[in-house]
């Protein structure tokens, strides 16, 4: 096989995000629950024999050499000594600077597709460790399932999450992650929780510690949260800007989407239990090789 088309790169939501401390190197210590959803970017990958890595389409504001999909392909190529190359075509549906992990997910899907097409044979744990060089969220998208995450986001434990639908609002701004984490107003001392607490739905104040800072810096985010909060427990994902609310079924989500004001882009998404690339790759996926059977 020399190509794979329509490879899904799913978005993630942070069901909560707590900042529990800061390391000596400046990185923040986090706890979060990562939830995969069925809103995706899509990647077409074609093998080249000449070793060149080429992005075939323009993406506004993202030069090819700095694009995470190109960087991911070159990283896997260098790590494995593969002499093959690839043409990469990326169709973006996920907003940049939205807190949905779009760039990280694109990079992970690139690694999954090329590991398959190039037959480089890198296993899941090795791939996750390699991917940490691209960003703290990339290993999650290689983990395979929803996860409770700690550290800077790289320590992952599988997590069962409710089968729900989400309404997501795009407030119309890009929130730069460094601006949020460097804000003096950011609290960095939330008490750590346990995965068992989250799984049992114990009475904890599940929140996003970055939300207060983002709302202060970007009134558009604050306005979107206040509007969506009329319909349930709305909160921001990641460092923003997107906000979301969970609903028990698709019909309930549809009713809310129909009411969203024109100033926001809105959409619904279904919770996923596992990464959709497992079906794309069939019996040769890195999760089966790790002993996981993904639905």
CA distances from 277 to 10, 119, 236 (A): 9, 16, 26
Ramachandran quadrant class, 111 (left: phi over 0; alpha: psi -120 to 50; beta: rest): alpha
Distance from first CA to last CA of the chain, Å, rounded?
A: 24
Report how far residue 35's alpha carbon sits from residue 283's, in angstroms, rounded to the nearest whole number: 24
Catalytic residue, from 41, 137, 209, 222: name it: 137
d(CA 6, CA 283): 18
Residue 203 annotated as catalytic:
no
Residue whose C-alpha is closest to residue 33's, from 238, 228, 176, 229:
238
12 classed as catalytic? yes
Q: Are 45 and 113 in contact (CB under 8 A)?
A: yes
Catalytic residues, which ones?
12, 137
């Amino acid at each position: 096989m020399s190509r794979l088309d329509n490879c899904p790169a799913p978005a993630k939501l942070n069901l909560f995000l707590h900042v529990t401390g800061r390391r000596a190197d400046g990185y923040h210590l986090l706890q979060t629950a990562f939830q995969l959803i069925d809103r995706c970017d899509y990647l077409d990958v074609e093998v080249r024999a000449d070793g060149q890595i080429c992005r075939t389409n323009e993406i506004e504001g993202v030069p090819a050499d700095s694009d995470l999909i190109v960087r991911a392909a070159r990283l896997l190529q260098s790590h494995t000594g593969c002499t093959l190359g690839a043409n990469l075509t990326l169709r973006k549906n996920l907003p940049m600077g939205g807190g949905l992990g779009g760039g990280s997910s694109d990079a992970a899907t690139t690694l999954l597709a090329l590991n398959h097409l190039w037959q480089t044979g890198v296993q899941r744990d090795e791939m996750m460790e390699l991917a940490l060089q691209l960003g703290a969220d990339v290993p999650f998208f290689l983990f395979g399932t929803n996860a409770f995450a700690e550290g800077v986001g790289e320590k992952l434990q599988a997590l069962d999450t409710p089968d729900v639908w989400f309404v997501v609002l795009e407030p119309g701004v890009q929130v730069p992650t460094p601006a949020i984490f460097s804000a003096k107003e950011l609290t960095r001392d939330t008490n750590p929780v346990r995965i068992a607490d989250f799984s049992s739905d114990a009475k904890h104040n599940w929140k996003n510690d970055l939300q207060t800072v983002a709302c202060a810096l970007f009134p558009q985010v604050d306005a979107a949260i206040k509007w969506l909060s009329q319909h349930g427990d709305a909160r921001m994902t990641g460092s923003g800007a997107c906000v979301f609310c969970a609903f028990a079924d698709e019909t309930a989500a549809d009713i809310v989407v129909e009411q969203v004001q024109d100033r926001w882009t809105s959409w619904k998404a279904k919770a996923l239990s596992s990464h959709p690339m497992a079906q794309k790759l069939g019996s040769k996926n890195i999760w089966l090789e790790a002993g996981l059977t993904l639905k």
